[in-house]
Structure 1
Amino acid sequence: MILVVDSGSTKCDWIAVDNNGNQLLEKMRTKGLNPAILPEKKLRKIIRKNEDLKANREQVTNIYFYGAGCGTEKPKALLKGVLEEIFVNAVIEVEEDTMAAVYATINSINEAAVVCILGTGSNCSYYDGEKLHQRVRSLGYSIMDDASGNYYGRQLIRDYYFNHMTEDVKIAFETKFNVEDDYIKYNLYKQPNPNAYLASFAEFMFLHKDSEYIVNLIKKGIRLFATNMIMQYKEELKTAPVHFAGSIAFFSQNEIKEVADEMGFRVGNFERRPIEGLVAFHTNKL
């Protein structure tokens, strides 16, 4: 049994296939396994809580894990150690989530492209057809992650409290969410995964895209992301398309294309959930 895994900070998708690429189990989902944020004990607990993974752990021969927080060696080694402890017979490869986005969006394995992730967090890299290149090292959700779910959640909360929302959007926002200040502070400062909590507000934008305020908010975040991340690759952009993975990107396609026209880069493919593309990529290698 081979497990192909795509993990963000909020959720983690697991697909099991056999050596012929046939899917063996229904797609499994756990909470996100971000080793840059979660301690070893919590990572272990999340995996062991899933009954299907627990029941089949000794049958797993290979794991191809792509995840948020796996871009540097220390958290990558931490997660690999947890996986090796649970899946005792498996050969395990752990890569950063950007590689999942690359394999899921490029048109061929040798295609050069700038590849972006806009999900709970955000990232951007250049794939030259063989290797991945990053010009900016992420410092996480509290400082970076422009145009991500947690960025938009933070902006929505700020705009609500600073009275920058239009009245109709403000009423809809306070109807949908608990906006009591102590409740928000409790989730931000005393609960695990504040980045995922912030990202939970982002869906609101896509339910209210008839509002000019919302459309402008989305484009403001994308412009920041393009300026700070995509434009790091000005030379590469002369020939390479820009592909996007993640739910925020998928539901912001029109706004991304408008900003691309403004800033002069060429938009390529959109992939909401990279896991399907990952399974196809690894199945073709079997």
Structure 2
Amino acid sequence: MILLADGGSTKCDWILLDDVGEIVFKTRTKGLNPAVFEKSLLERRIRENVEISSYRDKIDIVHFYGAGCGTAKPAAMLKKVFEDFFVTSEIVVKEDMVAAVYAATTEPGIVCILGTGSNSCYFDGDDIHMSVDSLGYILMDEASGNHFGKRLIRDYYYKRMPQDIASEFEKSFDLSSDTIKENLYKKENPNTYLASFAEFIFTSERNGYFYKIITEGIQEFIENRVLCFPESQNVPIHFIGSIAHFSEDIIRAAVWPYHLTVGNIVRRPIDGIIDYYRKEVIKKKN
């Protein structure tokens, strides 16, 4: 059996497929980003899941695609966590861009992730090419959940947020400066904490203020993480993640001045991963 996972900083979706590609179970854990979480926390989040724990001795291969796995040190740390837990399984750990490509296309294109964090790559039909290494939520991650969360908090404190929206924002979150600073500077997972504020934009009724925030974030992402690829003028631009899903109209409007073509917009990459592995299973059996 093959255990597949698409992991971000906020959540991780898991699918167990049997030998003919049928789903044994679907489950979810909290995020497993090895670039921002301690080893002990990663171990605990896996161990606490009942479905995964009950099947761990029956799993032949674990394929994990996750945020924070694009550089050697955190990927190696997460692989060791899995090797210690899935003691009889082959372990493969790859960055989340690989899963995004599987979910989006089999043809050349630019593939973008807009989730808790953000990233992009050029897929030439065979291999993935990154423009720059991602430096994470403090320096990069344009148009991500933590990007929009930071924007909301700053606008609230600088009193740039319209008063009626600010009143609703106050009802939804504890906005005291002590609470915010404690979560950002003393507690674990500050990127996930910031991203939690972004839900306010996407679960509230769309208005001019939200439209402006999303548009500016998407434009910044396009300028920094799409136009950096010379191929962007000639291939479709695919988007993966919940923020992309809820911002489809803004994405289509934002790319128009740059003469870019929007390709597929996929909310949950795990569905594309299942299709990819089912094809692999069928191909090997035939």
Q: Which category of TM-score, normalised to the shorter sequence, fits these structures?
A: over 0.9
Residue in 1 that maps onto 2:284: none
Query: Hey, what's the Cα distance between the residues in 1 that align with 2:34 and 2:87?
Result: 20
Residue in 2 that maps onto 1:29: 28
TM-score (norm 1): 0.96
Query: Hey, what's the Cα distance between the residues in 2 that align with 1:36 and 1:206?
Result: 27
Work out the percentage of aligned pairs sharing the same amino acid. 48
Residue in 2 that maps onto 1:206: 202
Residue in 1 that maps onto 2:244: 249
Asked if 1:229 corresponds to 2:229, the answer is: no
SS in 1 for 2:139: coil
Q: Which amino acid aligns with 1:274?
A: P
Q: CA RMSD in A?
A: 0.9
Per-residue deviation, 1:38: 1.1
Per-residue deviation, 1:208: 3.4
Aligned with residue 261 of structure 1, among 247, 251, 256: 256
Residue in 1 that maps onto 2:40: 41
Query: Hey, what's the Cα distance between the residues in 2 that align with 1:22 and 1:142?
Result: 40
Cα displacement string for residues 137-158 of structure 1 (whole angstroms, at most 9, x for unaligned residues)? 1111011000000000000000
SS in 2 for 1:145: coil
Matched-pair contact (CA < 8 Å) for 1:209–1:215: no
Alignment of 1:10-89 (within 5 A): 10-25=10-25, 27-89=26-88
SS in 2 for 1:255: helix
Q: Which runs of 5+ in 1 are unaligned?
A: none
Residue in 2 that maps onto 1:271: 266
Asked if 1:142 corresponds to 2:138, the answer is: yes
Residue in 2 that maps onto 1:7: 7
Query: Hey, what's the Cα distance between the residues in 2 that align with 1:210 and 1:42?
Result: 36
Query: Hey, what's the Cα distance between the residues in 2 that align with 1:247 and 1:75?
Result: 25
Q: Which runs of 5+ in 2 are unaligned?
A: 282-286
Per-residue deviation, 1:203: 1.3
Asked if 1:163 corresponds to 2:162, the answer is: no
Residue in 1 that maps onto 2:279: 284
SS in 1 for 2:62: strand
Q: Which amino acid aligns with 2:20?
A: N
Q: Which amino acid aligns with 1:249?
A: A
Query: Hey, what's the Cα distance between the residues in 1 that align with 2:48 and 2:11?
Result: 14
Matched-pair contact (CA < 8 Å) for 1:208–1:214: no
Alignment size in residue pairs: 281
Query: Hey, what's the Cα distance between the residues in 2 that align with 1:190 and 1:178?
Result: 16
Matched-pair contact (CA < 8 Å) for 1:58–1:88: yes
Q: Which amino acid aligns with 2:12?
A: C
Cα displacement string for residues 76-129 of structure 1 (whole angstroms, at most 9, x for unaligned residues)? 1111111111111111111100111110011xx3x0010000000000100001
Residue in 2 that maps onto 1:185: 181
Which runs of 4 or more aligned residues in structure 1 lie more than 4 Å from their structure 2 counterparts after TM superposition?
none
Q: Which amino acid aligns with 2:16?
A: A
Q: Which amino acid aligns with 1:4?
A: L
Q: Which amino acid aligns with 2:101?
A: V
Matched-pair contact (CA < 8 Å) for 2:233–2:259: no
Query: Hey, what's the Cα distance between the residues in 1 that align with 2:96 and 2:21?
Result: 22
Query: Hey, what's the Cα distance between the residues in 2 that align with 1:19 and 1:210?
Result: 45
Per-residue deviation, 1:182: 0.7
